[in-house]
Amino acid sequence: MQIYLPIAEMSVNIFLILGLGGAVGLLSGLFGVGGGFLMTPLLIFIGVPPAVAVGTQAAQTVASSVSGVMAHMRRGNVDFMMGTVLTAGGFVGAGFGVWLFNLLKYAGHIDLTISLGYVTFLGVVGGFMLAESLPGVLNRRPVALALAARGPGRHLWMQALPFKMRFRKSKLYVSALIPLAIGTLVGLLVAMMGVGGGFLMVPAMIYLLGMPTQVVIGTSLFQITFVTAGTALLQATVNKSVDIVLALLLLVVGVIGAQIGARLSAKVKGEHLRIMLALIVLAVAIRLALDLVITPSELFSLGGGDGS
Amino acid sequence: MKRLLALVAALCMMAAHARAQDVPLVADLSNHLVAITTGFTGTDVLLFGATDGPGDIAVVVRGPAKDEVIRRKERFGPIWANANAATFRDVPSYYRVASSRPLEEFAPEALLSRYQIGLDAIHMIDANENATPESNADARKALLRLNTENNLYDQGVGAVTQMSNRLFRTELHFPANVPTGTYLVEVYLFREGQIASAEIVPLVISKIGVGAEIYDFAHGKLAFLYGLISVLLALAAGWVAGAIFRRV
């Protein structure tokens, strides 16, 4: 059965969309990740214009993170002060990202930028995850522990920065510039690549800021919810690239998939999960990298202003 | 069956009309409005008509004109990136030509070029300053090829069926990705290398229903409101789903 997507201006098989949404939702529930980094490239693979894929994914990420942040708020696992600073940075980055996205779209380089961005981030994140999980399985000594043991406070240059703020919940006294910079980078990723950015923010919060792990997930979800909501609003107003029909289709099955995935994850070993996720992430990165390197069968492409 | 009867009746009347009034060519479409609804997967429109005697028919369908940018990938180190672009002004977004036999068998090239009949006759001028005739020709070929692959351009030889030198018909296909706007269906009657008669029938392709309303809402002055509703819907959906699954 075909359904016409009004903003993407294309007709797609509804079961393909539901299948993709459900599968990515299942993975995101299973691994506790946002799933945007898989959904955006998949949408582009099936022919959704990159701008619409990125804009719609921002709206969908709002839905998938809001129930998480509310659960963490009930348990008191959100550092609102830190979350607000991260969100402020996120808005700056998102605004800049939407502007840059438009600029690159009209120059004809947006596909390449998105692909390069994904290859870089997925390659790095997948590589780290694999490096961190493999020793855990092979000789039971994760690198993460070694890294965490080194702990915060080692970054002396950070202590020298101005605008210090006290973050009570995180028990930190650091310069506001650091969370602001992290937030800005994440906002840029949301606007340009349609990802929540949790995969970048969570390690940065743990290793760079030295936040206690129990508030990291809740606080990052807090930032992601607000920044993706702001980005979706901006993309809808400036680029007209949020397809609400596509977003709703994806999020209905995505939410169900995520719940099933979360239940399944209790039955699978954590280390094996991480290795599986790392392999999936690396596979997407390699696929995108190959597309950039292999001589294309069609050298020409059409692109009015729509970047497709 | 009813439609077919009506069509036959219409054709007979047109043939009679053509002879009585001495009009060399009459043509019409089975449908003057193509509605793109939520379940739209493409459609066929029947073009039918009558002539007052023998002759060759060429049918040209043109979609709304738009500017097309063609990009060519080039190697930069290990990766392939878009390099030089050609910009063609006012190229038809949709173009379909149908005829009973190859165009060059019954029409001189000068006429085909003047009326832009046939894929090779579409006028395309590269608006870029540093365009060369070679790059222009390459980009032109690429535009024709890509649009043909997307089912937006087509040249159908033998797609027009003629009956007893009087009646003719052809099916015009509009794919799912058809651009919206006002189309012109041009019907030419060729005799002895000249255009004996021509007729133009307009065809409107527009979005109808919920999809159209969403599109207009998102692209109109209230785009911000559309974004706000989208975000609120996403928030509500996520919150409701979370609440439901927490109970289970």
- The position carrying tokens 């950015």 is A197
Chain segment B13-24, per-residue pLDDT in tens: 665 555 555 678
Q: Which positions in chain A touch B246 (Cβ < 8 Å)? A: 71
Residue B98, token pair as written in the block = 């149908």
Q: Which positions in chain A touch B243 (Cβ < 8 Å)? A: 67
Q: What's the confidence (pLDDT) of residue A10?
A: 82
Residue A158, token pair as written in the block = 């950070």
DSSP strand pairing (B25-29 vs B42-51): antiparallel
Q: Which positions in chain B touch A242 (Cβ < 8 Å)? A: 218, 226-227, 230
Asked if B79's CB is within 8 angstroms of A112's CB, the reply is yes
pTM over 0.95: no
What is the end-to-end Cα distance of chain A in Å, rounded? 24
Share of chain B above pLDDT 90, in %: 36
Regions of chain B where pLDDT drops below 50: none
Q: What's the confidence (pLDDT) of residue B245?
A: 75
Distance from CA of B41 to the nearest CA of A (A): 7
Encode chain A in three state secondary structure: CEEEECCCCEEEEHHHHHHHHHHHHHHHHHHCCCCHHHHHHHHHHCCCCHHHHHHHHHHHHHHHHHHHHHHHHHCCCCCHHHHHHHHHHHHHHHHHHHHHHHHHHHHCCHHHHHHHHHHHHHHHHHHHHHHHHHHHHHCCCCHHHHHHHHCCCCCHHHHCCCCEEEECCCCEEEECHHHHHHHHHHHHHHHHHCCCCHHHHHHHHHHHHCCCHHHHHHHHHHHHHHHHHHHHHHHHHHHCCCCHHHHHHHHHHHHHHHHHHHHHHCCCCHHHHHHHHHHHHHHHHHHHHHHHHCCCCCCEEECCCCCC
Q: Which positions in chain A touch B73 (Cβ < 8 Å)? A: 296, 299-301
Are B135 and B88 in contact by the 8 Å Cβ rule? The answer is: no
Confidence grade of residue A305 (pLDDT, cut at 50, 70, 90): very low
Asked if B237's CB is within 8 angstroms of A252's CB, the reply is yes
Number of other residues whose CB lies within 10 A of the CB of residue A290: 10
Q: What's the confidence (pLDDT) of residue B248?
A: 57
What is the end-to-end Cα distance of chain B in Å, rounded? 55
Which residue, among A52, A44, A50, has the nearest Cα to A20 in the 3D structure?
A: A44
Question: Nearest Cβ partner of A304 from B68, B230, B245?
Answer: B68
Which helix (H) or strand (E) is B46 found in, with range?
strand B42-51
Q: What is the mean pLDDT of chain A?
A: 82
Q: What's the confidence (pLDDT) of residue B11?
A: 61
Chain segment A20-44, per-residue pLDDT in tens: 999 988 888 887 777 788 888 889 8
Chain segment A184-228, per-residue pLDDT in tens: 999 998 899 888 888 788 888 888 888 888 888 888 889 999 999
Confidence grade of residue A278 (pLDDT, cut at 50, 70, 90): confident
Q: From CA A176, how far away is CA A170, in angstroms rounded?
A: 13
Q: From CA B1, how far away is CA A295, in angstroms rounded?
A: 53
Chain segment A233-260, per-residue pLDDT in tens: 999 998 888 999 999 999 888 888 888 8
AA identity, residue B4: L
Which residue, among B65, B58, B45, has the nearest Cα to B175 in the 3D structure?
A: B45
Q: From CA A122, how far away is CA A126, in angstroms rounded?
A: 6
Chain segment A80-119, per-residue pLDDT in tens: 989 999 999 999 999 999 999 888 888 888 888 888 888 8
Residues 6 or more apart in contact with residue A74 via CB below 8 angstroms: none
Task: Check if the interface score ipTM surpasses 0.90.
Answer: no
Closest residue in A to B91 (Cα–Cα)? A304
Are A302 and A308 in contact by the 8 Å Cβ rule? The answer is: yes
Question: Nearest Cβ partner of B242 from A70, A116, A232?
Answer: A70
Q: Which domains does chain B have, with CATH numbers?
A: 2-207 (2.60.40.1930), 209-248 (no CATH)
Residue B51, token pair as written in the block = 């002539």
Question: Residues B235, A280, A47, CA angle at the centre, nearest 5°?
Answer: 65
Res. A141: pLDDT tops 60 = no
Confidence grade of residue A138 (pLDDT, cut at 50, 70, 90): low
Confidence grade of residue A136 (pLDDT, cut at 50, 70, 90): low
Residues A130-152 have a mean pLDDT of: 57
Asked if B239's CB is within 8 angstroms of A67's CB, the reply is yes
Select the more confidently predicted residue: B138 or A15. A15
Which residue, among A180, A190, A31, A10, has the nearest Cα to A97 in the 3D structure?
A: A190
AA identity, residue B192: E
